[in-house]
Amino acid sequence: MISIDQQLKTVAPKLRLGIVVADGIVVQKRDDVLWSDLKRQGRTLAKQYPTREALRQAPEISALDRAYRSLGVDPRRYPGSAEALGLRMLSDDQGKVKGLYQINTAVDANNLVSLQTLCSVGVYDLKNLHEPLVFRVGQVGEGYTGIGKEKVSIANLPVFADANGPYGSPTADSNRAMITLETKRMMLVIISFAGDALLDLKVSDTSDMLQEYLNVSHNHVSTQIVE
């Protein structure tokens, strides 16, 4: 479903994408069990990586950082979404913890996968995407309106693009393909810059989780590994 452009593959030779597509999903505003699981995973991560530097040394996050630097992007200015989520669980200089945010069951499941794998994970409404889909390097002048943000510059960032242009990145996604309560067909993408050898298993676990939390049957979920 998604191809990886050779320019990006040259910069990140271990790059693998784990893709889960689900049809006929039911997105709800909140699921208390899912939200509890998400917060528990956040606390577990904070114990395992108690400081910013410890978190940034995690294999997946450091691999993303290296790829960004190779593309001329400062990962401190444009952190991957897994790092940004993890940092919300760590105390700041005043000892305060921002904590996680709750959106809807599809986005919350996406964030749970990201905290479990420490990979940036994107989730998209397939109704608003048009093939071919490619993971490539953003060009100078490219950008889009981010979710909850004004225009996001994506020059030199790894970006997902369809026939109509870029719609997401490991740092910030656009609002064009964002999940809403009306979404019925979605694609979740786990982005492993470290080339996780266990990605197949993690994709399978993600598939099971989506079936549980988005009320979708097994025969309406498909998976794929792209490398």
Identity at 216, one-letter amino acid code: V
CA 141/CA 41 separation, integer angstroms:
38
Calpha distance 112→192 (Å, rounded): 15
Q: Which residue has the tokens 């995690």?
A: 58
Per-residue pLDDT of the chain (227 residues; tens, 9 = 90+): 899 999 999 999 999 999 999 999 999 999 999 999 999 999 999 999 999 999 999 999 999 999 999 999 999 999 999 999 999 999 766 667 889 999 999 999 999 999 999 999 999 999 999 999 999 999 999 999 999 877 889 999 999 999 999 999 999 999 999 999 999 999 999 999 999 999 999 999 999 999 999 999 989 999 999 99
Tokens matching residue 96: 């305060």
End-to-end CA distance of the chain: 12
Q: In what order do the strands lie in the sheet with 2-4?
A: 2-4, 133-137, 158-162, 165-168
Burial state string for 8-24 with b = 16 or more CB within 10 A and e = fewer than 16: beebbeebbbbbbbbee
> Domains along the chain?
2-226 (3.50.40.10)
Q: Which of 115, 100, 113 is nearest to 186 (CA)?
A: 113
